[in-house]
Chain A
Amino acid sequence: MSKILGKEIFSENVVKLVLEAPEIARSRKPGHFVIIKIGKKGERIPLTIASSDVEKGTITLVIQKVGVTSSKLANLEVGDEVTDVVGPLGEATHIEKVGTVLCAGGGVGVAPLLPIVEGFQKAGNRVITVLAARSKDLIILEEQMREYSDEVIIMTDDGSYGKKGLVTAGMEEVIQREKVNLSVVIGPAIMMKYAALTTKKYNIKTFASLNTIMVDGTGMCGACRVSVGGRTKFVCIDGPEFDAHQVDFDEMLQRLGAYKEQEREAYERYLKTAETVS
């Protein structure tokens, strides 16, 4: 059981929750994630630890509502409890001083990017961050990102904020302007695919943090498997970060859709019951 100690609504579909989890708070490093489960009948879903407070014994999650479990979690209030939280899982990000790091985050991928941006800046790198979303109200964590980045570039699909265009346009702008030593991209699979293609053109080493479907998160089931450099890897124990130029994003996209039908039906059922309850 983990009590919710804080909640902040970032946008219609994105919330930040602060959870009581003292042991995880102490052990986690940038790049780590947790698996949560709500109620006896809930499903297990992975979420990145965006930040933690060792003194208060808390971890912070940023959740985007995309289906039943993420919505159930986002709809919990301060004082409520999350039945199961396990972590920290995965390999931590390998942070070192490399020079200039270009970080690109799309949608809710901005949340897991935050501790990485912070880490690279504290390690003495020049950090340039590109934040991308469909429109202005979907840009999250801008302030925090500014705190740890030397520069923040905002891209929106509709041009309602920052520059109009895709994340890749923002990345190219930087790459053409100055030497980039390393890139980290986190976001929807399709965004990571194109971001990786972009940096590949310029031969810039790039890491992507993969958000595959998971069950146990401890290497036991293989649900999270992806092909990296032609070899099968388990995201939960070998990742979640991999060399983005080696990842088979098309396969990953297909695997993410494995339960699309069931998820849609379950979500519609959930929305109906949620309506009648409220």
Chain B
Amino acid sequence: MESILEYLKEERSQEWRAELRKSMKAKERTSRERVSMPEADPNQRNKNNMEVNSGLPVENAILEAQRCLDCPDPTCMNGCPVGINIPKFIKKIEAKDFLGAAVVLKETNGLPAVCGRVCPQEKQCESSCFYTIKLNKPAVAIGYLERFAADYERESGKMAVPEVSEKNKIKVGVVGSGPAGLAAAGDLAKFGYDVTVFEALHEIGGVLKYGIPEFRLPNEIVDVEIDNLRKMGVKFKTNFLVGKTVSFDDLKKEGYKAFFVGSGAGLPRFMNIPGENFNGIFSSNEYLTRVNLMHAASDEYDTPVISGKNVAVIGGGNTAMDSVRTAKRLGADRAMIIYRRSEKEMPARVEEIKHGKEEGIEFMNLHNPLEYYDNDNGRVNRMKVQKMELGEPDASGRRRPIPIEGSEFYIDVDTVVVSVGVSPNPLIPKVLGDLKVTDWGTIVVDQETMQSSIPELFAGGDIVRGGATVILAMGDGRKAAAGMHKYIQEKVKAN
């Protein structure tokens, strides 16, 4: 810890930073308004897949970068799970060295263009910015700036490939190609390992590909970042389910010395209420996978999807928001969120809720589904919901929803998307009997090294946290890579 602070101090005292700080009065910096993100017109964007946020223009990025005070104690960094050197990259933007800013980002974050788009910044870095905690003003738009620098670099065609140590020819395996796996793979490659990422699906990226829609995170951006990993020597094997296609034991026989498991929280939960298996009722995973991974909305692709006119999405998280906005884009007249608490308790990002409202999504908060009905052909046509009110806070600290007796009523629906959460992917615990898991099915790891009860197995991301964020998953991946490096080096020395 000490050394990190020393390092930050040293960096901050560099001449160019000192110059920049002097170039403008703090008063002037803090009196500026936070820039806003340019957005596509809600009535156009809700009919197609164009990205909603179009990114800051250069001038605005510089204006926003000037707001940052380059604090001696940059509290913002405490809010970033991968510890990006935030003031340094922002000051690079202020100095108009945009490519330099991207290099700073990549020191600690392999997917800045992704995080700049999907991080819940308002809960992470921006919530601990000096502006938020001391000035009671809108935080420096760290996320927008991160996206700006990453996009600038990508569009310049001058992507920096991070340096990798000399290859040590030691094989390591990464199970799952979501953000946790990709982050681990990047760091392991930097340490010089021979890294292979195994992915069960036919595409690399995990939730970034099959879950989060194009209009929030274009696939192309994920692909560019994956290409970068390829350039660092990382190998990818798709259509490969570790534990099924080949067992861990056989991989060890092939020479793999350690594994990182980032298999995610892919198992969708249902509510187990009557009628939930009627046609037209999907898990959000199925709905989004059909549309995002399988391109079901396009006639050119073979996978079908039901695009309803009256769509109800059950839940209040990011996944629910993505599903309901997707339904609108597939042509729904009514696209509704049905959520049992109030907007204040919604786990979804503030930005997604705002965007959804602009796009014409109906929010039926404080409502809960009780039963589904069909028109005798197995296709859902109606649902019964009940009104709720909020009681005392529960274990999660959120106020508990309580049903209001006698408030039941019916809504016509032809499509329902159930988005009430996911459970950890059970496959790996199932094939590895010795692996210690919690009652919830998440893998138990050492908080520092991410090592599991099986010494050569490390884990992180949703399979450990049971559903979190992209950047937390990446933070885990990086921690685990360091843990694996230490473990392997010690073993090598011992031999």
Chain A residues with CB under 8 Å of chain B are: 23-24, 26-27, 37, 41-44, 68-69, 83-89, 215-216, 218-223, 225-227, 232, 237, 251, 254-255, 257-259, 262-263, 266
Cβ contacts under 8 Å, B239 to chain A: 84-86
> What are 7 A-B pairs with beta-carbon distances under 8 A?
A23-B246, A27-B247, A83-B202, A216-B201, A222-B282, A222-B286, A232-B270
A83 to B6 alpha-carbon distance, docked (Å)? 53
Cβ contacts under 8 Å, A215 to chain B: 286, 289-290, 294, 303
Cβ contacts under 8 Å, B301 to chain A: 41-43
**Which of B201, B245, B266, B302 is in CB contact (< 8 Å) with A69?**
B302
Cβ contacts under 8 Å, B379 to chain A: 258
B470 to chain A, nearest CB (A): 17
Q: Is the CB of A220 within 8 A of B266?
A: yes
Q: Is the CB of A257 within 8 A of B245?
A: no
Cβ contacts under 8 Å, A251 to chain B: 277, 378
A216 to B206 alpha-carbon distance, docked (Å)? 12
* Most A Cβ at <10 Å: residue of B201, B266, B283, B295: B201
A198 to B426 alpha-carbon distance, docked (Å)? 35
Residue of B nearest to A85 (CB): B239
A88 to B243 alpha-carbon distance, docked (Å)? 10
Q: Is the CB of A220 within 8 A of B268?
A: yes
A50 to chain B, nearest CB (A): 18
A43 to B270 alpha-carbon distance, docked (Å)? 25
A219 and B427 contact, Cβ closer than 8 Å, known pairs A42-B302, A86-B200, A89-B241: yes
Cβ contacts under 8 Å, B168 to chain A: none
Q: Is the CB of B244 within 8 A of A37?
A: no
Cβ contacts under 8 Å, A69 to chain B: 302
Interface of chain A: mostly helix, strand, loop or mixed: mixed
Residue of B nearest to A255 (CB): B279
A257 and B378 contact, Cβ closer than 8 Å, known pairs A218-B200, A218-B241: yes
A219 and B244 contact, Cβ closer than 8 Å, known pairs A41-B302, A68-B302, A254-B378: no
Cβ contacts under 8 Å, A237 to chain B: 426-427
Cβ contacts under 8 Å, A226 to chain B: 277
Cβ contacts under 8 Å, A83 to chain B: 202
A86 and B241 contact, Cβ closer than 8 Å, known pairs A219-B427, A222-B283: yes
Q: Is the CB of B304 within 8 A of A263?
A: yes
**Which of B279, B285, B294 is in CB contact (< 8 Å) with A222?**
B285
Q: Say if the beta carbon of B451 comes within 8 Å of chain A.
A: no
Other A-B pairs, 11, CB within 8 Å; known A41-B300, A215-B294, A266-B302:
A27-B245, A43-B304, A218-B200, A220-B289, A221-B283, A221-B286, A225-B277, A232-B272, A251-B378, A254-B377, A258-B379
B113 to chain A, nearest CB (A): 24
Q: Say if the beta carbon of B240 comes within 8 Å of chain A.
A: yes
A163 to B106 alpha-carbon distance, docked (Å)? 72
Q: Say if the beta carbon of B306 comes within 8 Å of chain A.
A: yes
A218 and B306 contact, Cβ closer than 8 Å, known pairs A84-B239, A225-B277, A255-B277: no
Residue of A nearest to B200 (CB): A218
A215 to B285 alpha-carbon distance, docked (Å)? 10
Interface of chain B: mostly helix, strand, loop or mixed: loop
Chain B residues with CB under 8 Å of chain A are: 200-202, 210, 238-241, 244-247, 266-268, 270, 272, 276-280, 282-283, 285-286, 289-290, 294-295, 300-304, 306, 377-379, 425-427
Cβ contacts under 8 Å, A227 to chain B: 277
A255 to B285 alpha-carbon distance, docked (Å)? 18
Q: Is the CB of A258 within 8 A of B295?
A: no
Cβ contacts under 8 Å, B427 to chain A: 218-219, 237
A70 to chain B, nearest CB (A): 11
Cβ contacts under 8 Å, A84 to chain B: 202, 238-239
Residue of A nearest to B265 (CB): A220
Cβ contacts under 8 Å, B245 to chain A: 23-24, 27, 86-88
Residue of B nearest to A261 (CB): B304
Q: Is the CB of A221 within 8 A of B304?
A: no
Residue of B nearest to A1 (CB): B239
* Most B Cβ at <10 Å: residue of A85, A220, A227, A257: A220
A136 to B227 alpha-carbon distance, docked (Å)? 54
A259 to B201 alpha-carbon distance, docked (Å)? 23
Q: Is the CB of B294 within 8 A of A44?
A: yes
* Most B Cβ at <10 Å: residue of A24, A219, A226: A219
Cβ contacts under 8 Å, B378 to chain A: 251, 254-255, 257-258
A232 and B277 contact, Cβ closer than 8 Å, known pairs A85-B239, A86-B239, A262-B304: yes
A87 to B304 alpha-carbon distance, docked (Å)? 23
Cβ contacts under 8 Å, B244 to chain A: 27, 87-89
Cβ contacts under 8 Å, B279 to chain A: 254-255, 257-258
Q: Is the CB of A258 within 8 A of B306?
A: yes
A218 to B198 alpha-carbon distance, docked (Å)? 14
Cβ contacts under 8 Å, B426 to chain A: 219, 237
Residue of A nearest to B270 (CB): A232
A257 to B279 alpha-carbon distance, docked (Å)? 8
Cβ contacts under 8 Å, B304 to chain A: 43, 259, 262-263, 266
A24 to B267 alpha-carbon distance, docked (Å)? 24
A253 to chain B, nearest CB (A): 8
Cβ contacts under 8 Å, A266 to chain B: 302, 304
A245 to chain B, nearest CB (A): 19
Cβ contacts under 8 Å, A24 to chain B: 245
B414 to chain A, nearest CB (A): 12
Cβ contacts under 8 Å, A257 to chain B: 279, 378
Cβ contacts under 8 Å, A41 to chain B: 295, 300-302
Residue of B nearest to A2 (CB): B239
A246 to chain B, nearest CB (A): 15
A66 to chain B, nearest CB (A): 14
Cβ contacts under 8 Å, A26 to chain B: 246
B128 to chain A, nearest CB (A): 34
A222 to B239 alpha-carbon distance, docked (Å)? 19
A78 to B239 alpha-carbon distance, docked (Å)? 22
A219 and B267 contact, Cβ closer than 8 Å, known pairs A41-B302, A86-B200, A86-B241: yes
What 10 A-B pairs are tightest by C-beta distance, nearest first? Answer: A254-B378, A221-B286, A43-B302, A220-B266, A86-B239, A262-B304, A222-B283, A258-B279, A43-B303, A84-B202
